[in-house]
Amino acid sequence: MGPRADPHRPPRRPHRPQTPDRLRHARSGRRLRHRPRPARPPLLAGVLSAVALGLGTAMVYPALIASISDHAHPAWRPNALGTYRFWRDIGYAAGALVAGVLADAFGLNATVIAAAVLTAASGLLAAHWISEHRPEHP
């Protein structure tokens, strides 16, 4: 006959594998507190956002290049395209740095609002400055 269970003892917990975190705390003699994990956005939302961003960029980028080509004189069209590409590429790097600083200082919501305002302002400026006439070609 096997040993009898002590009625005054609490039942044993099921075995849980020792993770490095648990082992470190077990060795130190401290109890491991349950730390809640940070909330993660669903993968589907991230994938759909990336697809939407890619589609939007694919529609806008050729139109912007064509607009610059249409408004630049053929003699300085390569310089105009190079200048546009330079400032656009610098904008990617500078925009990321400025967004990080804004997010640290004011939070993510303020950063998204600032990006929306800057995008709308640049669109309005482009609509004002870019006319429909095409330069005369020699």
Give the angle subtended at the CA of 39 by the CAs of 34 and 42, to the nearest 5°: 140
Mean pLDDT of the chain: 80
- The answer on pLDDT for 6 being more than 60 is yes
Rounded Cα gap, residues 83 and 118, in angstroms: 20
Model-level pTM? 0.52
Q: Of 84, 89, 87, 115, whose CA–CA distance to 101 is shortest?
A: 115
- The answer on pLDDT for 16 being more than 80 is no
Q: Record the tokens describing residue 75, joined without a space.
A: 């003699």
Which residue pairs, CB below 8 angstroms and at least 24 apart, start in 102-108?
none
* DSSP structure class, residue 17: P
Give the angle subtended at the CA of 34 by the CAs of 31 and 40, to the nearest 5°: 155
- The answer on pLDDT for 1 being more than 80 is no
The mean pLDDT value for 76-82 works out to 93
Determine the pLDDT at residue 49.
87
Map residue 106 onto helix, strand or coil: helix
